[in-house]
Amino acid sequence: MRVAIAQISSRIGDVQHNAEKHLRLMEEAEAEGADVVIFPELSLTGYVLRDLAYEVARPCREAVRRMVGEGPKLTSVIGFVEEVRDGVLRNSAAVIGSGRVMAVIPKFYLPTYGLFEEARYFAPGDPLRDVRVIDAPFGRMGVAICEDLWHPEPAEALVRMGVELLVCIASSPARGIGQGPEGEPWIASAWRSILAATALMNSVHVVFVNRVGPEDEEYFWGGSMAVGPDGRILYRAPLYEEGLFVCELDLWENARARRFSSFRVHQRDFHRLLSEL
pLDDT one digit per residue (tens) for the chain, 277 residues: 999 999 999 999 999 999 999 999 999 999 999 999 999 999 999 999 999 999 999 999 999 999 999 999 999 999 999 999 999 999 999 999 999 999 999 999 999 988 899 999 999 999 999 999 999 999 999 999 999 999 999 999 999 999 999 999 999 999 776 677 777 889 999 999 999 999 999 999 999 999 999 998 899 999 999 999 999 999 999 999 999 999 999 999 999 999 988 888 888 899 899 889 9
Rounded to whole angstroms, how far apart are CA atoms 90 and 108? 9
CATH number, residue 261: 3.60.110.10
As a dihedral over the C-alpha atoms of residue 245, residue 248, residue 251, residue 252, rounded to 10 degrees, the angle is -170
Q: Which domain holds residue 207?
A: 2-275
Contact 247, 3 (CB under 8 A): yes
- CA 111 to chain centroid: 15
Q: How far is CA 137 from CA 72, 96, 97, 174, 184, in A?
A: 14, 12, 9, 35, 36
Look at strands 212-215 and 88-97 and give their pairing: unpaired
| Amino acid code (one letter) for 98 | S
Number of domains, the chain: 1
pTM of the model: 0.96
Q: How far is CA 159 from CA 48, 155, 202, in A?
A: 31, 6, 7
